[in-house]
Amino acid sequence: MSELDDQLILRVEGRLAGAFVPELENCWKAARTSRPSRKIAVDLKSVTCIDRAGRYLLELMHSNGVGFLRAGLATQDILADVMEQPKCK
pLDDT at 44: 92
pLDDT, position 88: 56
Residue 59 located in a structural domain: yes
Domain presence at residue 88: no
pLDDT at 36: 84
User: CATH no. for residue 15?
Assistant: 3.30.750.24
Cα 54 to Cα 5, 37, 45, 59: the distances in Å are: 27, 25, 15, 9
Is there a domain that residue 45 lies in? yes
Beta bridge partners of 8: 3, 40
In a domain, 52, yes or no: yes
Instruction: Find residue 11's DSSP bridge partners.
Output: 43
**Cα–Cα distance between 13 and 35 in angstroms, integer?**
23
Please list the pLDDT of the chain residue by residue as tens digits (89 residues).
Answer: 566 678 899 999 999 999 999 999 999 999 999 888 889 999 999 998 899 999 999 999 999 999 998 777 767 777 777 777 666 55
Q: Is residue 89 part of a domain?
A: no
Domain range for residue 66?
2-83
Residue type for 20, please?
F
Prediction pTM value: 0.83
Q: Is 7:39 a contact under the CB 8 Å cutoff?
A: yes
Query: What is the rounded CA–CA span in Å between residue 67 and residue 61?
Result: 8
